[in-house]
């Protein structure tokens, strides 16, 4: 890179770093707020100060985290979220992988119809199902249960579609034929031959679903009544109602809800992004 080229990049770096700074600033502010008592929250923007206006790092406090761990028993929603997100992610991945593989790799009567069903179902907007979905859960007696949250989320049509595309590209038909000739059953072929070949899509889809459930607010808000069953999304929103003036506590609860997914997903960001964009760029 010659000097004029490097100079040309200075404004580029400036703008990008500005954008990165503006992205991180709210997060940094939240972290600091979660360690400040309410007096310091009101009195300082970032770092707490003493009465003379000097920086006073000693004033940072764990009181909000103590409240969360003790009085609010935030471990409960944390476990609920982890449970709901992992069970749904694993279940939906199995259901969608099986369906997508069947549509991609079998010639059967009704294949066109089923594919059309999947494509049509992708068009059905979520909000349309909110009120009647509640009615259905009431009828089958699944309101206020984990089943009422997990079961409806097990078969997203776009998941079947994604796995159908993936199976068409990455599971060679000759391999399935060869397995059949060797006497391998259809189910075993799916689990031992197709699934390993679908691994990249399985990874992406597990992540998308886990994140989607973890961050979902409206479904648990509508379905659950019993506060012992609340996931973090609902429990955190309750904090805002209960401790309206207690900003530090609200920020601590929010931080506790965000940190696990950051720890889980930031290292995998590259796969996540490539999985996310592969469909769009090719399509």
Specify the stretch interacting with other proteins by CB under 8 A; choose among 19-27, 58-66, 71-79, 198-206: 19-27
Token pair of 159 as six digits = 């998941």
Specify the stretch interacting with other proteins by CB under 8 A; choose among 54-62, 66-74, 196-204, 275-283: 275-283
DSSP symbols for 90-135 = HHHHHHHHHHHHHHHH---TTHHHHHHHHHHHHHS-HHHHHHHHHH
Residue selected from 133, 195, 206, 271 as contacting other proteins according to rule CB under 8 A = 133
7 binds other proteins (CB under 8 A): no
User: Which is nearer to other proteins, 16 or 75 (by Cβ)?
Assistant: 16
Torsion of CA 36, 40, 46, 48, to 10 degrees: -90
User: Which is nearer to other proteins, 53 or 283 (by Cβ)?
Assistant: 283
Beta bridge partners of 55: 49
Specify the stretch interacting with other proteins by CB under 8 A; choose among 50-58, 60-68, 134-142, 198-206: 134-142
CA distance 143 to 154: 17
58 binds other proteins (CB under 8 A): no
Residue selected from 7, 39, 42, 192 as contacting other proteins according to rule CB under 8 A = 42
Q: Give me the 147-176 binding string for other proteins, x by CB under 8 A, dash otherwise.
A: ----xx-xx-x--x----------------
| Smallest gap from residue 180 Cβ to other proteins (A) | 6
Cα–Cα distances in Å, from 248 out to 62, 218, 226? Answer: 10, 24, 26
Number of residues that bind other proteins (CB under 8 A): 98
Applying the rule CB under 8 A, the residues between 186 and 245 that interact with other proteins are 186-187, 190, 211, 214-218, 222, 233, 236-237, 239-241, 244
Cβ 74 vs Cβ 68: under 8 Å:
yes
For 196, residues 6+ apart whose C-beta sits below 8 A from its C-beta are none
The 10 Å Cβ neighbour count of residue 63 is: 14
Cβ 77 vs Cβ 227: under 8 Å:
no
Applying the rule CB under 8 A, the residues between 88 and 127 that interact with other proteins are 94-96, 98-99, 101-103, 106, 108, 110-111, 114, 117, 121, 123-127
């Amino acid at each position: 890179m010659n000097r004029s080229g490097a100079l040309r990049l200075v404004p580029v770096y400036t703008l990008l770093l500005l954008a990165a700074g503006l992205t991180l600033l709210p997060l940094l502010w939240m972290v600091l707020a979660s360690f400040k008592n309410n007096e310091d929250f009101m009195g300082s923007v970032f770092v707490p100060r003493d009465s003379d206006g000097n920086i006073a790092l000693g004033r940072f406090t764990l009181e909000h985290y103590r409240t969360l761990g003790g009085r609010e028993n935030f471990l409960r929603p944390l476990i609920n979220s982890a449970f709901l997100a992992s069970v749904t992610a694993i279940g939906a991945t199995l259901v969608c992988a099986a369906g997508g593989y069947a549509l991609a790799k079998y010639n059967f009567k009704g294949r066109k119809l089923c594919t059309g069903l999947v494509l049509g179902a992708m068009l059905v907007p979520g909000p349309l199902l909110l009120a009647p979905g509640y009615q259905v859960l009431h009828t089958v007696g699944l309101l206020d249960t984990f089943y009422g949250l997990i079961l409806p989320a097990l078969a997203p049509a776009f998941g079947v579609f994604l796995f159908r595309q993936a199976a068409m590209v990455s599971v060679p038909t000759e391999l399935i034929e060869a397995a059949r000739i060797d006497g391998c059953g259809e189910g075993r072929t799916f689990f031992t031959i197709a699934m390993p070949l679908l691994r990249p899509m399985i990874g992406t889809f597990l992540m998308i679903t886990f994140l989607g459930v973890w961050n979902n607010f409206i479904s648990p808000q509508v379905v659950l009544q019993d506060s012992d069953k609340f996931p973090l999304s609902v429990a955190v929103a309750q904090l805002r109602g209960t401790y309206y003036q207690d900003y530090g506590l609200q920020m601590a609860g929010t931080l506790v809800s965000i940190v696990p997914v950051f720890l889980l997903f930031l290292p995998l960001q590259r796969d996540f992004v490539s999985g996310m964009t592969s469909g769009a760029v090719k399509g």
